[in-house]
Amino acid sequence: DAGVTQSPTHLIKTRGQHVTLRCSPISGHKSVSWYQQVLGQGPQFIFQYYEKEERGRGNFPDRFSARQFPNYSSELNVNALLLGDSALYLCASSPDRDTGELFFGEGSRLTVL
Amino acid sequence: GEDVEQSLFLSVREGDSSVINCTYTDSSSTYLYWYKQEPGAGLQLLTYIFSNMDMKQDQRLTVLLNKKDKHLSLRIADTQTGDSAIYFCAEEGNNAGNMLTFGGGTRLMVKP
């Protein structure tokens, strides 16, 4: 069975640009959450979507947005990129909206120059 | 607010036991989790413990929870070189859901 897949795996952007990261959850999982992992730190929660609705949002600026599609895949968008947005962006899926049992993808590594 | 803390680094010899410690602040957390991250990979759930339990054993893994001191530990018996990775403890957020607050991670190095 396919796990959580994310694309792209690596990308380089410059300050001020926009980025879109994509995530396909495990088949049957309706909940998708996004985490940011800065090098050397633990992951930080950004968003959770369940059944196409935002269910939770972490302490991130409005430059960060996300959505979930009818097939439960998800996109994370970041506008006006800053150097500090350089990080590994992890997507996790779950069959249940209220559980910490998350299945993570391998992440999209974003470098902002 | 929520804060989860871990020591940065642990080095053990192959075959020894490893103990990774974690302190958390949110006493309302129902579950506490341990995740493992290998180089270049995402996180993998290892085990979790319900907050009304003191201990949970799962093969080579033993989780101890001291709720009074808000202290969580993960013991790995007979540590192998393949256990070398970063280990994260995590507590549930105030609104539960899939929101977890992770510690900074403990890098475990296993020497042959």
In chain A, what residues touch B88 (CB-CB under 8 Å)?
42-43
Asked if B97 lies within 8 A of A97 by C-beta distance, the reply is yes
In chain B, what residues touch A104 (CB-CB under 8 Å)?
42-44
Asked if A97 lies within 8 A of B93 by C-beta distance, the reply is no
Q: Write out the H or E segment, with its range, that includes residue A92.
A: strand A87-94
Distance (Å, whole) CA A4 – CA A19: 20
Q: Are B4 and B25 spatial neighbours (Cβ–Cβ below 8 Å)?
A: yes
Taking only the tens place, the pLDDT of each residue in B16-68 is 999 999 999 887 778 999 999 998 888 999 999 998 899 999 999 999 999 99
In chain A, what residues touch B105 (CB-CB under 8 Å)?
41-42
Looking at the partner chain, which of B31, B95, B102 has a beta carbon nearest the beta carbon of A56?
B95
Is pLDDT of A86 > 70? yes
Asked if B92 lies within 8 A of A55 by C-beta distance, the reply is no
Percent of chain A scoring above 90 in pLDDT: 92
Distance (Å, whole) CA A51 – CA A53: 6
Q: Binning pLDDT at 50, 70 and 90, where does residue B93 land?
A: low
Average pLDDT on B82-91 reads 96
What percentage of chain B's residues is helix, strand, coil (to nearest 5)? 5, 55, 45
Question: Best interface-test mutation with B: which of A35, A44, A50, A53 has the largest number of B CBs within 10 A?
Answer: A35
Place of tokens 């209220």: A98
- Enter the DSSP assignment of A60: -
Strand A74-78 with A64-68, pairing: antiparallel
Is pLDDT of A77 > 50? yes
* Cα nearest neighbour of A88 on chain B: B42
Q: In terms of residues, how long is chain B?
A: 112
